[in-house]
Chain A
């Protein structure tokens, strides 16, 4: 899948064939809002692909106290990949271009919805550090894929110990260096 297709949105995966006109109709701010806040109701028809790049969270201390802290991308990706530590899963790493301002209709650019200066509306799931891609992430932008497996927990038999069991590099990967508007994974 990594080498042949890249990452495709659920909508494309499900219907098999989509047109530019249909894509244009789908890429709206309202559709993005529903993808972010009401995913269950749109999961089969969403043109968006949720990625995570990690996020800095505001400290709990009021009025300037405290340290902002980081929720890492790998932790969030692992929770999703393993369905909350139920099954083995795969984590893809890659890059997407973003703009310094929102523009949902531009398919090429992902929306950096974790950026509070541009996406300022409160989002319950902000700590997922989401960057939302549209329709397709091409193979050339995917660097590698890891398979994570679950073993018995050391703290309790109810917990699972996640470990990276295998990793495949993508020989067709094109590095993002030199391009503008690329933000680092945290």
Chain B
């Protein structure tokens, strides 16, 4: 299943088969060579670092596969998120959002006080995700914890180069069901993101807002 438009691969000058090969192979590598068994009994203190390393490799693999095999990518994002949850790493929210609900914070985590708060931009998106889950009739998922994050970013930035306030603006407009405003906010997010995210089809490229007719939001 190819999910990204062919023009995306042209824009970045990569072959979808190469993306698939590296993505699946990296996942194989993480599961086989970065598993807990990779450290000896004497090195158990390194287990946290090893799990973070495995989570990073799985997320890298998923980031590639999301372009060519969404189902596999979501499973790997979820596996990475589960590892980060065990490590109480706040990046878990980013991966949790990426896997579209395949992962959610577990009840046991909520009982012991929840996960660490993510950075501002991701906090805005996590709170939005919870709101959408609630509106779909699922108000008691693990995402409920994100409802308390609030939405008041100041000077935060995301790893993609996007200021947190732009993600907060996107989340606010989506929460208000402002379809045009949401798409415009998304365009602003993409314009401020790094070059990989900005890559679009070279010929016949369309602004994100033009997707409205095919992918209504709200």
- A159/B91 in contact, CB under 8 A: no
Q: Is B105 an interface residue (CB 8 A)?
A: no
Please, which residues of chain A bring their CB within 8 A of the CB of B119? 60-63, 65-66
Please, which residues of chain A bring their CB within 8 A of the CB of B164? 62
For the residues of A in contact with B, the DSSP-based class is loop
Please, which residues of chain B bring their CB within 8 A of the CB of A163? 32
* Stretch in B19-27, B125-133, B209-217 touching the partner: B19-27
Please, which residues of chain B bring their CB within 8 A of the CB of A59? 89, 91
Known: A62-B119, A156-B24. A69 touches B55 (CB 8 A): yes
A52 to chain B, nearest CB (A): 14
- Find the residue from A65, A78, A84 having the highest chain B CB count within 10 A: A65
CA distance A135 to B50 in the complex (A): 33
Please, which residues of chain A bring their CB within 8 A of the CB of B23? 159
Q: Is A85 an interface residue (CB 8 A)?
A: yes
Q: A64: nearest residue on chain B (CB-CB)?
A: B119
Kindly count the residue-residue contacts between A and B in the assembled complex, taking CB atoms under 8 Å apart. Answer: 103
- B118/A65 in contact, CB under 8 A: yes
- B28/A65 in contact, CB under 8 A: no
Q: Which B residues from 124 to 154 make CB contacts under 8 A with A?
A: none
- A72/B25 in contact, CB under 8 A: no
Known: A61-B118, A158-B20. A85 touches B25 (CB 8 A): yes
Q: Is A160 an interface residue (CB 8 A)?
A: yes
Please, which residues of chain B bring their CB within 8 A of the CB of A74? 33
Known: A153-B25, A159-B20. A60 touches B94 (CB 8 A): yes
For the residues of B in contact with A, the DSSP-based class is helix
- B25/A160 in contact, CB under 8 A: yes
The size class of the interface chain A forms with chain B is 20 to 34
Q: Is B17 an interface residue (CB 8 A)?
A: yes
Q: Is A145 an interface residue (CB 8 A)?
A: no
Q: Is A167 an interface residue (CB 8 A)?
A: no
Known: A62-B156, A156-B72. A69 touches B28 (CB 8 A): no
CA distance A168 to B75 in the complex (A): 37
Q: B76: nearest residue on chain A (CB-CB)?
A: A155
CA distance A78 to B30 in the complex (A): 12
Please, which residues of chain A bring their CB within 8 A of the CB of B117? 65
Q: B33: nearest residue on chain A (CB-CB)?
A: A74
Q: Which A residues from 61 to 83 make CB contacts under 8 A with B?
A: 61-63, 65-67, 69-72, 74-75, 78-79
Question: 1/0 per residue A82-117: CB within 8 Å of B?
Answer: 001110000000000000000000000000000000
Q: Is B169 an interface residue (CB 8 A)?
A: no
Question: 1/0 per residue B77-88: CB within 8 Å of A?
Answer: 000000000010
Known: A62-B119, A62-B158, A155-B27. A70 touches B49 (CB 8 A): yes
CA distance A162 to B27 in the complex (A): 11
Q: A150: nearest residue on chain B (CB-CB)?
A: B25
Besides the known contacts A61-B122, A62-B156, 12 further A-B residue pairs in the complex with CB atoms under 8 A apart: A59-B89, A61-B90, A62-B119, A62-B164, A70-B52, A79-B22, A150-B25, A153-B24, A155-B27, A158-B24, A159-B23, A162-B33
Write 14 A-B pairs (CB below 8 A) sorted by A numbering: A57-B56, A62-B157, A65-B116, A70-B53, A71-B57, A75-B33, A86-B21, A153-B24, A155-B24, A156-B20, A159-B27, A160-B21, A160-B24, A161-B32
Closest 3 CB pairs of A and B: A159-B24, A85-B25, A60-B159
Residues of A whose CB lies within 8 Å of any CB of B are 57, 59-63, 65-67, 69-72, 74-75, 78-79, 84-86, 150, 153-156, 158-163
